[in-house]
Amino acid sequence: MAISAQVQNVHLAALMNGTHEIEDGVFTNIWGYGLWDQTPIATLPAPLLIFQQGDSVEIQMTNVSPESHTIHLHGLDVDQVNDGVPQTSFQVTPGGSTVYSFKANETGTFLYHCHVITTLHLTMGMYGMIVVERDDNTLFENGPIYDDTYYYLASDLEVETNNFPTMAFPFHEIQPDHFMINGSSGEMLFNGSENVIEMEAGQKIALRLGNIGYSKTEFIFPNSVNATAYLSDGRVIPTPFEIDTLEVYPGERYSVLIGTTETVSDFISVNYSNMENGIYQATNYIGINSYTFPTSIVNVDNEGIGVYPNPVDQILYFQAGTVKQIEIYNSKGVKVLERYEPIGMSSLDIQELARGMYFLRIDGSNSKKILKF
């Protein structure tokens, strides 16, 4: 059992007034959970909740919406009162508040969602992922060790239902037409997104995968990253198996390790297909980049400005042209450095940046480039 076990308190609001961007500038309505705040905001998915094995968890849910909701802790060992199933537990009425308690005995990936008129409340967005980790960075007791973790929750929605959530459709009438990973889809999953896996060659990366949509999903891994499944639905798989394609049905979760000793620029494909008839619906892509040191790459961008050396240790030089403005973003898309010199510059001191992968933007160009400092 983890040594750092303690009481973990989380306070969520249940909300029915959210919006969610489904593509550039296009929003739909969502209901969901948001972290408790002066003005809590529903997010899709709901906040990722990470606990340590052995923790005593108390999730308070305050309902600030006009209808009743619950929190069902999917896959976790909870007693019936804390199960959030309205028929056997209780609903939290508008203005009400309750605390769901459980002991995080098992490591793994779990889900939480509203269990009131489940079909409708789920498609509206009332769900999130719970992960129970260990403080020694092993997947489970005496299990494999890993260096970093990425969390991917697949889901879907039917845009018209979210736009007009006036009635609860029976299960078979929900025809999802928007397919997401962590609430994003298509190009939103790339472009400096925190959903792109960035790892050093030799590292092991844990992937916590779950599906809470109406579609069957298939996670297809490139051979280059040696994906191996260790946990299924929060339980240790007796003989871990290497996978090319991992089928994850609605409600299922897996913990997978990936790693490579090579420089890799690849992606995991996530296919969505209809549960009723098996018809393929859509694919999302999760980018994977692994990098080794040292590597020598000379980047020349569209404006013909060479940047060297790459990787760079302390000073970045510009080969030709007059560079006036430099912006550097980290792999999460956060701007970490900006310089503007009206008369131009031929070098830039980047000693303050930690070793890693960055995106460079010169003079406001849209061609962001990857540099490995």
Query: Which residues are at the interface with Cu ion (CB under 5 A)?
Result: 69, 114, 116, 121, 126
DSSP string of 123-188, one letter each residue: HTT-EEEEEEE-TTSBSSTT--B-SEEEEEEEEEE-HHHHH---SPPPGGG----EEEETTB-GGG
* Minimum distance from residue 18 beta carbon to Cu ion (Å): 12
Tell me whether residue 126 or residue 312 sits nearer to Cu ion (CB atom): 126
* Minimum distance from residue 91 beta carbon to Cu ion (Å): 9
Q: Does residue 269 contact residue 285 with C-beta atoms inside 8 Å?
A: yes
Tell me whether residue 20 or residue 121 sits nearer to Cu ion (CB atom): 121
Tell me whether residue 12 or residue 104 sits nearer to Cu ion (CB atom): 12
Q: Please tell me whether residue 223 adopts helix, strand or coil conformation.
A: helix
Tell me whether residue 116 or residue 316 sits nearer to Cu ion (CB atom): 116
Tell me whether residue 15 or residue 139 sits nearer to Cu ion (CB atom): 15
Among all residues, whose Cβ is closest to Cu ion?
114
Instruction: Say how many C-beta atoms besides its own lie within 10 A of residue 78's C-beta.
Output: 18
* Minimum distance from residue 109 beta carbon to Cu ion (Å): 22
Tell me whether residue 16 or residue 307 sits nearer to Cu ion (CB atom): 16
* Minimum distance from residue 32 beta carbon to Cu ion (Å): 9
The residues, any chain, with a CB within 8 Å of residue 287's CB and separated by 6 or more, are 189, 190, 193, 195, 196, 197, 265, 266, 267
* Minimum distance from residue 14 beta carbon to Cu ion (Å): 6
Q: Does residue 308 contact residue 330 with C-beta atoms inside 8 Å?
A: no
Integer Cα distance of 254 and 110 in angstroms: 9
Q: Around 222, how many Cα atoms within 13 Å sit in the side-chain half-sphere?
A: 16
Rg of the chain on CA atoms, in Å: 23
* Minimum distance from residue 329 beta carbon to Cu ion (Å): 37
